Amino acid sequence: MEPELQRDYFSGRTNGAIALNGITICATNELPWKNNSARVACIPEEDTVCIAPVSIITGIAKGSHL
């Protein structure tokens, strides 16, 4: 039972969702892909690192947790 990260890529951001057993448990909001440049890029697909979950996406690469 592994969490699954689904991503939707846009020019200014990468939005997504984390699902467990096919049920979405939270939204994700990342910076856009820019060759993994520090503080301006999303996390590469092949890396398995923590992505901060958010309850509400409030802007480009911004969100809040309720």
pLDDT tens digits, 6-51: 888 888 788 888 899 999 988 888 777 677 676 666 666 666 555 6
Cβ–Cβ < 8 Å for 33, 41: yes
Instruction: Count other C-beta atoms under 10 Å from residue 30's C-beta.
Output: 20
User: What pTM did the predictor assign?
Assistant: 0.59
Q: How far apart are CA 47 and CA 49, in angstroms?
A: 6
Position 50 scores a pLDDT of 58
Position 23 scores a pLDDT of 92
Position 46 scores a pLDDT of 66
Q: How far apart are CA 41 and CA 56, in angstroms?
A: 20
Position 54 scores a pLDDT of 74
